[in-house]
Amino acid sequence: MDSFSWKLLRFKRKLRSLLGCVYIRNRFVDKTHTLQTGLPKGQWHEWDKRVSYAILNEFIMFFEREVKQHCEVLGWDFCKNGATAEQIALAWLDVQAKAFEDECGAHRRTEYDIIAGLYKEAKAHMQLLKVSDGYPPCYDETGQWSFDVEKAFHDEETALLQEIIKYRSYLWT
């Protein structure tokens, strides 16, 4: 190897060792301590909107990321057929629920069913918010803005967030 190649190789190794530093990797590369809301950047968003988006989005991303890692490690077939992250997550949940039901009884099946329901509900809620540009569709049958519909929407969202927090101990890492 010529001198330039050696210098380039040493530079790559030095860079790799710097990026290998846990703090630098977490802070600048992986950004593990930042919550991703999925909201457009550079715009003002109310605090409650940022919190609900962050919790729902992080729950969905965590769930799909964990399932993908489990599938890759275990080499399951339904992960390889080009399915969406949502399809893989729901199929994986069903497989896990059946396995735990056989080994541990029906109470573990119930926990997985609850998590699957929360996942589906969170995906649907995020989709509704994205379609309605971040604001809940709070119009009544006449097409007028309704505070009762808005309150019902926020109550439903609050219940969903509380359920995610309540069942967070059933999630794995």
- 72 and 138, same domain (yes or no): yes
- 150 and 88, same domain (yes or no): yes
86-103: pLDDT as tens digits: 777 877 777 777 776 666
- 86 and 138, same domain (yes or no): yes
Tokens 């929407």, located at residue = 153
Containing structural domain, residue 21:
1-34
24-58: pLDDT as tens digits: 767 777 777 777 888 888 888 788 888 888 888 88
- 30 and 56, same domain (yes or no): no
Distances (CA, A) of 82 to 79, 94, 105: 7, 18, 32
- 19 and 51, same domain (yes or no): no
Tokens 């994205």, located at residue = 130
- 70 and 105, same domain (yes or no): yes
Domain count, the chain: 2
